[in-house]
């Protein structure tokens, strides 16, 4: 059977097709509304998700440095809840940023108990959104719910570029052998523009520092000992003209990390770690 390697691990395409008919009954987050059908040439959710959402002044933390409040952050929760039921849409090729093509999107991985990466990514992104809003940061999500398809990886990058984001963080979880654990942060290399040359590696280092300060261990199975991974095959990073990184929060096949990812408390801890990294970067 053919397999697809995504940032969320290796997923069997044939298996995805087999479960597609039941994907509509998959694990969706409570309160999510259905996505609008994508226009021709687009795979994604409501366009409102790609617009800046100004932070409410009453939610701001008055102790935060004023400079952080002028920032725009794009959060990109990887995959989507209906991707597995729409393989014909997410498997079409799109530009990868290095003169080649790659798959529009993928289904992601899951815990052994069946909790989907797409749901974890979205829940963590919403927590980070609320935390950043408390610091006066304008936050943009690349998708507005967990009941849609896509968007494609090139469109996710375009959302960050269009909003002239100070930072873009794509939120994922890995799926590999049960013994592996820890987080790592990916950036595009070799660099294709100035943002990738200087700002993105700095964002990656600050993200590692912030997440480590929150008590999360760096990966023991991939990337450098510092938790950094330079890759040239991720279109969302390659196509970014603003500072962008991808965070693999941990391994959904590791029993301890899977348990943490499956609880609200655990997801808030991952969100707090990502928020720490972002604030460290923005507050320079």
DSSP characters over 206-220: HHHHHHHHTTPPBPS
Would residue 42 show up in a list of annotated catalytic residues for this protein? no
The pLDDT tens digits for 24-64 are 333 333 333 333 333 323 454 434 345 554 443 334 443 44
In this prediction, residue 223 has a pLDDT band, given cuts at 50, 70 and 90, of confident
Residue with tokens 């909790």: 115
Length of the chain, please? 284
pLDDT value, residue 242 = 98
Cα separation values, 81 from 123, 130, 174, 176, 244, Å: 12, 21, 17, 21, 23
CA distance 31 to 21: 22
In tens, the pLDDT along 174-196 reads 999 999 999 999 999 999 999 99
CB 127 within 8 A of CB 268: yes
Spot the catalytic one: 248, 257, 259, 265.
248
More confident residue, 5 or 247: 247
Q: What is the pLDDT of residue 224?
A: 80
Distances from the Cα of 39 to the Cαs of 46, 89, 233, in angstroms? 10, 12, 27
**Residue 2 confidence (pLDDT) above 70:** no
pLDDT tens digit sequence for 11-20 = 333 344 343 3
The residues, any chain, with a CB within 8 Å of residue 140's CB and separated by 6 or more, are: 49, 50, 51, 52, 53, 72, 73, 74, 75, 159, 160, 163, 165
Structure confidence at residue 284 (pLDDT): 66
| CA Rg value for the chain | 17
The residue ranges of every structural domain in the chain are 54-282
Structurally, what CATH architecture does the domain formed by 54-282 represent? 3-Layer(aba) Sandwich (3.40)
pLDDT tops 60 at residue 21: no
Q: Say whether pTM exceeds 0.95.
A: no
Instruction: Show Cβ contacts of residue 184 under 8 Å, excluding neighbours closer than 6 positions.
Output: 218, 219, 222, 223, 227, 228, 229, 247, 248
């Amino acid at each position: 059977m053919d397999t697809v390697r995504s940032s969320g691990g290796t997923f069997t395409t044939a298996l995805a097709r087999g479960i597609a008919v039941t994907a509509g009954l998959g694990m969706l987050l409570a309160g999510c509304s259905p996505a609008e059908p994508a226009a021709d040439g687009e795979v994604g959710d409501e366009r409102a998700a790609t617009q800046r959402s100004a932070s409410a002044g009453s939610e701001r933390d008055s102790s935060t440095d004023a400079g952080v409040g002028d920032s725009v952050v794009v959060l990109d929760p990887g995959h989507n809840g209906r991707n597995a039921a729409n393989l014909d849409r997410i498997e079409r090729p799109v530009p990868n940023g290095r003169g080649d093509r790659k798959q529009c999107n993928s289904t992601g991985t899951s815990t052994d108990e069946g909790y989907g990466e797409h749901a974890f990514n979205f829940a963590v992104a919403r927590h980070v959104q609320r935390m950043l809003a408390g610091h006066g940061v304008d936050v943009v999500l690349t998708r507005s719910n967990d009941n849609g398809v896509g968007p494609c990886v090139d469109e996710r990058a375009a959302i960050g570029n269009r909003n002239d984001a100070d930072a873009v963080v794509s939120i994922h979880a890995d799926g590999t052998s049960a013994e592996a654990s820890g987080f790592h942060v990916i950036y595009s290399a070799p660099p294709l523009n100035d943002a990738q040359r200087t700002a993105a590696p700095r964002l990656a280092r600050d993200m590692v520092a912030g997440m480590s300060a929150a008590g999360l261990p760096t990966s023991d199975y991939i990337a450098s000992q510092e938790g950094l991974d330079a890759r040239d095959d991720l279109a969302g990073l390659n196509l970014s003209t603003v500072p962008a990184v991808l965070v693999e929060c941990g391994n959904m096949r590791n029993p301890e990390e899977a348990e943490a990812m499956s609880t609200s408390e655990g997801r808030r801890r991952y969100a707090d770690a990502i928020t720490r990294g972002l604030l460290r970067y923005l507050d320079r």
